[in-house]
Amino acid sequence: MEKSTHKKNFDPEHMSLQEQLKFEIAQELGLDAKVLEQGWRSLTSKESGRIGGMMTKRRRQMKEAAGKEKDS
């Protein structure tokens, strides 16, 4: 099976909520310029892992905050 050579263009103007969170974290890590110039595939596995870990942590915090608001 061949890998697709189709390259998805990164469009910062039309992002889902998950993509917005991902890009926000990339900005915090100073990786936004690299992503804009070369795309997500240019990131190393270490960089991608850091973004993924931070996304998970941030989602968990948002879920906990939403749960606390419901209790109030």
Number of domains in the chain: 1
* pTM (whole model) above 0.75: yes
**Residue 7: inside a domain, yes or no?**
no
Tokens of 60: 């968990």
Residue 49 belongs to some domain of the structure: yes
Give a yes or no: residue 57 inside a domain.
Answer: yes
pLDDT recorded at residue 9? 62
Structure tokens, 44: 């190393």
Q: Which residue has the higher pLDDT, 56 or 10?
A: 56
Q: What is the pLDDT of residues 7-49, one digit of tens each?
A: 556 676 788 999 999 999 999 999 999 999 999 999 999 999 9
- Report the number of secondary-structure helices (H) and strands (E) in the chain: 3, 0
Is residue 4 a part of any domain in this protein?
no
At residue 69, the pLDDT reads: 79
Range of the domain at 67: 17-71
**Selection from 38, 37, 54 nearest residue 46 by Cα:** 54
Contacts of 15 (CB under 8 A, 6+ apart): 23
Domain annotation covers residue 28: yes
Residue 55, pLDDT > 60, answer yes
